[in-house]
Amino acid sequence: MSYGYLLALFTLLGGTLALNAGPASAESRMESGNLLFDNIPTSTRQGNGDSDPDAYLQGREAIPLGFSSKGQLLIATRFGETDQLHLVDGPMGTRRQLTYWKEPITWAAFSPDPGHNAWVYLADSSGDGNTQLYYQRLGEAPRILTDGKSINAMPVWSNAGRTIVFASTARDGLNLDINIVEPDSKTPPRLVLSGEGNWSPLDWSPDDGRLLVLKTASNDESYLYVLDLSTRAKREIETSKNKGAIKAAKFSRDGTGVYFISDRGSEFSQLRYQNLLTGEISVVSAQIPWDIETLAVSHDGHYLAYVSNEAGLDKLNILDLRAHQDLNPPALPAPGILTQLEFDQTSTHLAFGFSTSNQPLDAYVLEIAANHLEAWTASEAGPVNLSKFVAPRLVHFPTFDRQNGSARAIPAYVYEPSQAGVHPVLIALPSEANSQARPQYAPWLQYLVTELGYVVITPNLRGATGYGKNYAMLASGTLREDAVKDLGALLVWLKGQSNYDAKHTFISGDLYGGFLALSALVNYGARLQGGIIQAGIADLPNYLSTTSPPARSLRRTEFGDERNSEQRAYLRRISPLTSIDRVKQSILLIQGRNDALMPLTNTQQLLASLRAKGIDVWYLQANDEGHFFKRKTNREAYLQTLAQFLRVNTRTPPSRSPQPSP
């Protein structure tokens, strides 16, 4: 679940949260635990039960992370402040907790060695993004495997279960290299592949002598290699002059081929197979005119599972590789989203995560031979009535340019209250240019719709994935402003909808979504009532020069290199901060103090600039978070503030009096 659009007030008065629907006097600055409130009204909460915004964040979800060698399912779920690791022995079995960190843990993997009851996981410190690799055996304390200061990611166990390969910036603090570590030897990791850019490991060959490694230049360009660990020689997979992105890859279980997902030379990402002996490439998913998202190969090489994204909803596909036959897996409980495909060690069971717009993410297991699907977890939604959750409808609105002789249509999911009447609107934008708004489980969004009566619109502006490569490239480079024009077209479309209150339309976004939201406030402010920005990009050159090193190289490819004077001038021109004096609406700013993607100084610069122009700005900062607020208390603070901000600014005009800079 993404919490990039959630924002909230957390005021402790006698141990309780306080919220008031009406305007109140502002506190200049107030600290409560790890939360800083600046110019956010003190308030008194009204209502309880389903009308209580906290109730919508009390539930939990279960993220399946794979099987142990004994057939237990490893999941991440929350029973306190943060997600922790748990084991589940069988369908609806008791969740046995394995880790007890203050920091959230949402990725881990068991060693495949049956005699080696151990697992590895990633954790950072207060959201600072410097993820470290930890190793733990059942009944023992965890042990750090990395240096404690670099960025480490994507660990993969060898087939023997005694060695781990992972990506790390330990060498120079800038580039992601490939490292290997043997946890039980207690020796430091050793470097096996280095170079400029971002390298990541994807899979081990069956004999553990080779690695599949990926070099990522941007969201649209990556290169796949087989790395021989004895000679360090690399061989590229799918050599082509065409640029393209590779999402995932796995060795065949006989080691003679590679299954991979690529969009080179095609409009959509396809599942392909390359024979390493002949170099011949075949398309496995040729019959599916949609993006393929992920894949898994059973350990005995019998089955290949993969997920296709069909108009924003996922479909599970399974291929019997021995019989060369597509299987027909059982229907899912409802149309929804699939995550984390993982086979067990016996190759008889496939685990995955499944959620819908009104059902939390849970772990499901498919017994392949019996073709029997069963839920292994049933996450509690908290004290809310899931039957009240609304399913979005897919709409298309016309934008400024033309396609095939007609106005180009932009897809958007719309969540509408069941009550009749004219409703205010919130436009919620995704954090990445290449992400796709989908009908996923989002309790905070449902609170806005079912309790506050807002229409929530999640558009897939040009640049979004899921609609073909050409659509995803429409906002690249100097076409970036065209995505902002799509927002202008959306606002025009909103005005023509009789049941939408176009005069009370708000816009929200984080990171790139924050850039779009701020740009909309600059260019179409007369049609907007206010903005909600979490760590949004206000100054592109400043963002590109200060974001974390692995993200920096990718974003320079995506947006342009700010070190080039001509490109820097263009990026400065389209940056919202350059035209911030055109913003007149109230804004809610949210920032995690330890955010490595959007360092705190960027948001402080935006805050100071807005207040110097006399704009009414609410500012919430969490000192124990990074880019996303992952702690339950802080997420409650998100939603409280968001609700308060919308209520106050729907009822009263924004203040124009100058405010002191932070």
Tell me the pLDDT band of 29, cut-offs 50, 70 and 90: confident
**Confidence at residue 562, expressed as pLDDT on a 0 to 100 scale:** 95
**CA angle, 220 as apex, 275 and 151 as ends, to 5°?**
95
Q: Is 162 within the bounds of a domain?
A: no
- The boundaries of the domain holding residue 509 are 29-57+384-539+575-651
The larger pLDDT score, comparing residue 326 to residue 48, is at: 326
**Confidence at residue 115, expressed as pLDDT on a 0 to 100 scale:** 86
In single-letter form, the type of residue at position 32 comes to: S
Mean pLDDT of 215-244: 93
**Confidence at residue 78, expressed as pLDDT on a 0 to 100 scale:** 94
Q: Is the pLDDT of residue 11 over 50?
A: no
Q: Is 632 within the bounds of a domain?
A: yes
- Tens-place pLDDT, residues 176-194: 999 999 999 999 999 999 9
**CA angle, 242 as apex, 237 and 243 as ends, to 5°?**
80
From CA 506, how far away is CA 454, in angstroms rounded? Answer: 10
CATH value at residue 465: 3.40.50.1820
From CA 5, how far away is CA 428, in angstroms rounded? Answer: 7
Q: Is the pLDDT of residue 19 over 60?
A: no
Mean pLDDT of 195-221: 95
Q: Is the pLDDT of residue 421 over 90?
A: yes
**Confidence at residue 659, expressed as pLDDT on a 0 to 100 scale:** 44
Mean pLDDT of 544-550: 94
Q: Is 53 within the bounds of a domain?
A: yes
From CA 159, how far away is CA 423, in angstroms rounded? Answer: 56
Length of the chain counted residue by residue: 662
Q: Is the pLDDT of residue 315 over 70?
A: yes
Q: Is the pLDDT of residue 662 over 70?
A: no
**Confidence at residue 23, expressed as pLDDT on a 0 to 100 scale:** 34
Q: Is 99 within the bounds of a domain?
A: no
Q: Is the pLDDT of residue 21 over 80?
A: no
**SS3 call for 634:** helix
**Confidence at residue 240, expressed as pLDDT on a 0 to 100 scale:** 84
Rounded CA Rg of the chain: 25
**Confidence at residue 42, expressed as pLDDT on a 0 to 100 scale:** 77
Q: Is the pLDDT of residue 142 over 90?
A: yes
User: Whole-model pTM?
Assistant: 0.91
**SS3 call for 388:** helix
Mean pLDDT of 627-640: 90
Tokens standing for 329?
A: 């897996």
Q: Is the pLDDT of residue 8 over 50?
A: no
Quickly tell me which residue has 């405010």 as its tokens. Answer: 659
Average pLDDT value over all residues in the chain? 91
* Nearby residues of 61 by Cβ (< 8 Å), 6 or more positions away: 1, 77, 78, 355, 360, 361, 362, 379, 441
Q: Is 444 within the bounds of a domain?
A: yes
Q: Which of these ranges, 43-52, 223-232, 309-318, has the smallest mean pLDDT?
A: 43-52
Nearest to 220 by CA among 465, 523, 484, 508: 465
In the chain, the number of structural domains is: 1
Mean pLDDT of 585-613: 96
3-state secondary structure 199-261: EEEEEECCCCCEEEEEEEEECCEEEEEEEECCCCCEEEECCCCCCCCEEEEEECCCCCEEEEE
- Tens-place pLDDT, residues 34-89: 999 999 987 633 333 346 788 898 999 999 999 999 999 999 999 999 999 999 99
Tell me the pLDDT band of 26, cut-offs 50, 70 and 90: very low
Mean pLDDT of 231-247: 92
% residues pLDDT > 90 (the chain): 84
Quickly tell me which residue has 């992952």 as its tokens. Answer: 630
Sheet holding 177-181, edge to edge: 152-157, 164-168, 177-181, 190-193
% residues pLDDT > 70 (the chain): 93
**Confidence at residue 52, expressed as pLDDT on a 0 to 100 scale:** 74
**Confidence at residue 48, expressed as pLDDT on a 0 to 100 scale:** 33
Tokens standing for 585?
A: 């609406």
* Nearby residues of 216 by Cβ (< 8 Å), 6 or more positions away: 197, 198, 199, 200, 222, 554
**Confidence at residue 325, expressed as pLDDT on a 0 to 100 scale:** 96
Q: Is the pLDDT of residue 661 over 80?
A: no
The larger pLDDT score, comparing residue 533 to residue 431, is at: 533
Tell me the pLDDT band of 477, cut-offs 50, 70 and 90: confident
**Confidence at residue 459, expressed as pLDDT on a 0 to 100 scale:** 97
Tell me the pLDDT band of 151, cut-offs 50, 70 and 90: very high
